[in-house]
């Protein structure tokens, strides 16, 4: 006599329901575990300025045509020098704002006289391309008050940051969203 | 005076090298005028609310897709939803965050104690799988932006022979194993790195990725959704969920009358025809073959494990610790004369070379174990696949293959019974209108 599986209950259906229930339970448990281990806050990419060597890859490797990385100037750290090695090229013929004397390829740093002998340097963000040339100059001979940071309003927050992948000093780190910047402070 | 001293320092030292740790060489000035030192203002990131919105849109899109596939049964609406997903998750959110890539985040959070999984990533990873357990691959059909962009170019779909389809799917298993291994060992997120469509979404110029993306779309004209079928690692997880799904996509809303009209409807070749009864004389041979394949399974696992283990130096080469150690070794032995940025960064970090070798060794050890396990996993997948395809299943009607069906709804309109229903519905609606 041939076995006739009933419409409501067959071995295959029973097995299938069993597997479904078990996998649903396992999936539920795994989901609960993952959700419990997760946290509401997301991560953002940021540059640790103390690790960064300003190699210049930030300017070229960002998925944005104009990199999300730009230079930041911590005024509190700045010496307000007349001969700013972050502003002027290696051998400036004159300490004036002529483009040929400037280090910045886009002229993004503005120099303003404050009082003898101090000058204020501000960064025109719309011009900065994040190449880090000024950062190299400033940290080599100055206070290191110029440094690169990912501008969080520009950054697309790619899951795998394409600059982080090529960063030679592994200065790109994930930071919690409520501390979006890693600034240099005057105390350190 | 200061100016002179500075000039001397700046010009005297011809070397224009960077020091990572710049000292406070010049004390901040004491201003005599009333100049106030400005504070640094930096723009805040996107509000966290937007991420919650992404998760909410995902949940809504998945629910809508399930409703469209199971109740509304309308290809047009499913296609419209997939275009919306392409625009929202693709072009508006620029491809990040996505469920396919969230796989990497989940693995990273399991292996890297310093990385806590953000809730959004957890939701993006889990929700489509959960829906898969109930409704099948509705995510693939209407919500995934990577699928949606490929779905737009399916103009001349050719049917891929079953054996080729099955064999090509091994790429996805290997990719899954490699992606999990890389994320677990800290080599990065492979799936995101080689996402073929993300440079379209971001409109960014990355030539290799554009070529990859255009290639996928070009192939996709003739072979529908090649990335989804042969590469996507997340799709593999969804396949398994869909196999178990509580409800599965049906070609016809009623009983199949075997009219064969839907036979060619599926561009993915996921529609399976009814099977002929199994000839009894073939049974012993088939049984023997199945037995051999089951015996082959551990052999394939061993082979996979051996290959994975042998490949581990290659797999580990991309890890930053290994790559740096290799460069430093070359640099110190004088085989590499160009002072690369990596060498410069290492020199300024002040770490001795001796501290690099244990790190490298630790990573290599991780990869040797990981490579072995990944290889065993791929071997297991291949073995199970062989067993799976040699088990005969009886089908009495035209069915959508549970694992392969992407719930795109193309076959619905091919079914005459669906069309009859729609006509009846239209007539009754018209009647109502007339009466009303």
pLDDT tens profile A164-174: 999 999 999 99
Partner-chain contact B244 A23, CB within 8 Å: yes
Partner-chain contact A23 B45, CB within 8 Å: no
- What residues are paired with A150 via a beta bridge? A69
Q: Is A26 on the interface with B (CB under 8 A)?
A: no
Query: Mind telling me how many Å the CA of B412 is from chain A's nearest CA?
Result: 26
Q: Is A21 on the interface with B (CB under 8 A)?
A: no
Phi-psi region of A48 (alpha: psi -120 to 50; beta: other; left: phi over 0): beta
Q: Compare all CA atoms of chain B with the CA of A182 and give the residue at the minimum distance.
A: B42
| pLDDT value of position B19 | 41
Partner-chain contact B2 A31, CB within 8 Å: no
**Could you read off the pLDDT of B155-201 as tens digits, one per residue?**
999 999 999 999 999 999 999 999 999 999 999 999 999 999 999 99
- SS3 sequence, chain B? CHHHHHHHHHHHCCCCCCCCCCCCCCCCCCCCCCCCCCCCCCCCCCCHHHHHHHHHHHHHHHHHHHHHHHHHCCHHHHHHHHHHHHHHHHHHCCCCCCHHHHHHHHHHHHHCCCCCCEHHHHHHHHHHHHHHHHHCCHHHHHHCHHHHHHHCCCCCCCCCCHHHHHHHCHHHHHHHHHHHHHHHHCCCCHHHHCCCCHHHHHCCCCHHHHHHHHHHHHHHHHCCCHHHHHHCHHHHHHHHHHHHCCCCCCCCCCCCCCCCCCCCCCCCCCEECCCCCCCHHHHHHHHHHHHHHHHHHHHHHHHHHHHHHHCHHHHHCCCHHHHHHHHHHHHHHCCCCCCCHHHHHHHHHCCCHHHHHHHHHHHHHHHHHHHHHHHHHHHHHHHHHHHHHCCCCCCCCCEECCCCCCCCCCCHHHCHHHHHHHHHHHHHHHHHHHHC
Q: Which of residues 9-68 of B touch A (CB under 8 A)?
A: 9-11, 13-14, 16-29, 31-33, 35, 37-40, 42-46, 48, 51
| pLDDT value of position A92 | 75
Q: Is B186 on the interface with A (CB under 8 A)?
A: no
Q: Is the peptide bond before A124 cis (omega within 30 degrees of 0)?
A: no
Partner-chain contact A177 B94, CB within 8 Å: no
Query: Mind telling me how many Å the CA of B238 is from chain A's nearest CA?
Result: 13
Partner-chain contact B122 A88, CB within 8 Å: no
Instruction: Round to whole Å and give the CA distance between A168 and A53.
Output: 8
Partner-chain contact A159 B11, CB within 8 Å: no
| pLDDT value of position A184 | 86
Identify the band that residue A9 occupies on the pLDDT scale cut at 50, 70 and 90: low
Q: What burial class does residue B126 get, using C-beta atoms within 10 Å of its C-beta: 0-12 exposed, 13-18 middle, 19+ buried?
A: buried
Q: At what angle do helices B233-244 and B170-185 cross, to 10 degrees?
A: 110
Identify the band that residue A67 occupies on the pLDDT scale cut at 50, 70 and 90: very high
| pLDDT value of position A3 | 53
Which tokens in the block code for residue B88? 């929202």
Query: Mind telling me how many Å the CA of B85 is from chain A's nearest CA?
Result: 18
Residues of B in contact with A63 (CB under 8 A): 199, 202, 204, 206
Neighbours of B11 (CB within 10 A): 13
Using CA atoms, how far residue B17 sits from A55, A59, A182, B53, B286, in Å, is: 11, 19, 23, 47, 73
Partner-chain contact A74 B40, CB within 8 Å: yes
Q: Compare all CA atoms of chain A with the CA of B27 and give the residue at the minimum distance.
A: A79
Residues of B in contact with A19 (CB under 8 A): 244
Measure CA A161 to chain center. 8
Interface test with A, best of B4, B14, B21, B26 (most A CBs within 10 A): B26
Q: Compare all CA atoms of chain B with the CA of A57 and give the residue at the minimum distance.
A: B341
Cβ–Cβ < 8 Å for B336, B327: yes
Q: Compare all CA atoms of chain B with the CA of A31 and give the residue at the minimum distance.
A: B126
* Residue A160, SS3 per DSSP: coil
**DSSP 8-state class, residue A97:** -
pTM score of the predicted model? 0.90
Checking ipTM against 0.85, whether it exceeds it is yes
Q: Looking at residues A41-68, what average pLDDT do you find?
A: 93
CB nearest A159 (choices: B17, B122, B192):
B192
CB nearest A53 (choices: B25, B192, B348):
B348
| pLDDT value of position A7 | 56
**Could you read off the pLDDT of B76-125 as tens digits, one per residue?**
999 999 999 999 999 999 998 899 999 999 999 999 999 999 999 999 99
Query: Mind telling me how many Å the CA of B26 is from chain A's nearest CA?
Result: 5
Ranges of residues in chain B whose predicted pLDDT is under 50:
1-22
CB nearest B6 (choices: A55, A83, A135):
A83
| pLDDT value of position A186 | 61
H or E, element range at A137? helix A133-141
Q: Compare all CA atoms of chain A with the CA of B8 and give the residue at the minimum distance.
A: A83
| pLDDT value of position A33 | 87
Q: Is B192 on the interface with A (CB under 8 A)?
A: yes
Q: Is A16 on the interface with B (CB under 8 A)?
A: yes
Query: Is the pLDDT at A1 greater than 60, yes or no?
Result: no
Q: Compare all CA atoms of chain A with the CA of B102 and give the residue at the minimum distance.
A: A159
Q: Compare all CA atoms of chain A with the CA of B187 and give the residue at the minimum distance.
A: A165
């Amino acid at each position: 006599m041939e076995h006739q599986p009933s419409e409501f209950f067959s071995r295959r259906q029973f097995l299938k329901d069993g597997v479904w229930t078990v996998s649903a339970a396992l999936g539920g448990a795994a989901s609960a575990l993952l959700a419990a281990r997760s946290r509401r806050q997301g991560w953002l990419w940021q540059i640790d300025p103390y690790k960064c060597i300003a190699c210049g890859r930030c300017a070229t490797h960002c998925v944005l045509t104009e990199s999300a990385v730009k230079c930041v100037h911590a005024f509190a750290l700045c010496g307000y020098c007349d001969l700013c090695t972050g502003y002027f090229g290696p051998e400036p013929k004159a300490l004036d704002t002529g483009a040929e004397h400037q280090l910045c390829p886009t002229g993004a740093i503005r120099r303003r006289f404050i009082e003898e002998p101090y000058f204020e340097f501000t960064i025109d963000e719309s011009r900065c391309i994040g190449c880090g040339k000024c950062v190299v100059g400033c940290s080599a001979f100055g206070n290191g008050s110029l440094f690169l940071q990912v501008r969080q309003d520009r950054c697309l927050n790619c899951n795998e940051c394409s600059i982080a992948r090529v960063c030679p000093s592994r200065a790109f780190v994930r930071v919690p969203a409520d501390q979006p910047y890693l600034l240099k402070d005057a105390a350190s | 005076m200061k100016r002179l001293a500075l000039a001397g320092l700046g010009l005297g030292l011809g070397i224009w090298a960077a020091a990572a740790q710049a000292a406070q060489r010049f004390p901040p000035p004491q201003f005599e005028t009333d100049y106030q030192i400005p504070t640094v203002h930096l723009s805040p990131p996107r509000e966290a609310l937007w991420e919650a919105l992404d998760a909410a849109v995902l949940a809504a899109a998945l629910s809508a897709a399930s409703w469209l596939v199971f109740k509304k049964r309308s290809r047009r609406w499913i296609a419209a939803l997939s275009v919306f997903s392409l625009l929202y998750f693709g072009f508006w959110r620029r491809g990040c965050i996505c469920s396919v890539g969230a796989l990497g985040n989940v693995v990273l959070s399991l292996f890297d104690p310093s990385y806590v999984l953000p809730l959004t990533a957890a939701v993006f990873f889990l929700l489509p799988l959960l829906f898969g357990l109930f409704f099948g691959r509705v995510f693939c059909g209407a919500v995934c932006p990577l699928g949606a962009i490929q779905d737009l170019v399916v103009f001349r779909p050719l049917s891929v022979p079953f054996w080729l389809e099955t064999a090509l799917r091994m790429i996805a298993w290997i990719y899954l194993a490699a992606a999990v291994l890389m994320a677990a060992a800290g080599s990065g997120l492979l799936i995101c790195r080689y996402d073929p469509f993300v440079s379209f979404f971001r409109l960014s110029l990355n030539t290799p990725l554009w070529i990859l993306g255009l290639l996928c779309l070009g192939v996709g004209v003739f072979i529908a959704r090649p990335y989804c079928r042969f590469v996507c690692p997340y799709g593999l997880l969804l396949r398994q969920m869909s196999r178990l799904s509580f409800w599965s996509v049906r070609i016809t809303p009623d009983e199949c009358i075997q009219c064969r009209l839907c036979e060619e409807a599926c561009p993915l070749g996921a529609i399976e025809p009814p099977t002929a009864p199994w000839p009894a004389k073939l049974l012993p041979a088939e049984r023997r073959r199945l037995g051999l394949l089951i015996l082959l399974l551990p052999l394939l696992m061993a082979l996979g494990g051996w290959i994975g283990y042998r490949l581990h130096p290659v797999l580990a080469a991309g890890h930053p610790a290994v790559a740096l150690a290799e460069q430093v070794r070359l640099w110190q032995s004088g085989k590499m004369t160009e002072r690369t940025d990596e060498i410069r960064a290492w020199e300024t970090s002040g770490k001795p070379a001796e501290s690099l070798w244990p790190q490298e060794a630790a990573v290599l050890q991780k990869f040797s174990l990981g490579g072995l396990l990944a290889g065993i996993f791929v071997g297991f997948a291949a073995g199970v696949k062989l067993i799976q395809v040699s088990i005969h299943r009886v089908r009495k009607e035209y069915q959508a293959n549970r694992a392969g069906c992407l719930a795109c709804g193309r076959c619905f309109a091919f079914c005459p019974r669906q069309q009859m229903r729609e006509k009846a519905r239209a007539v009754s609606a018209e009647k109502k209108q007339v009466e009303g």
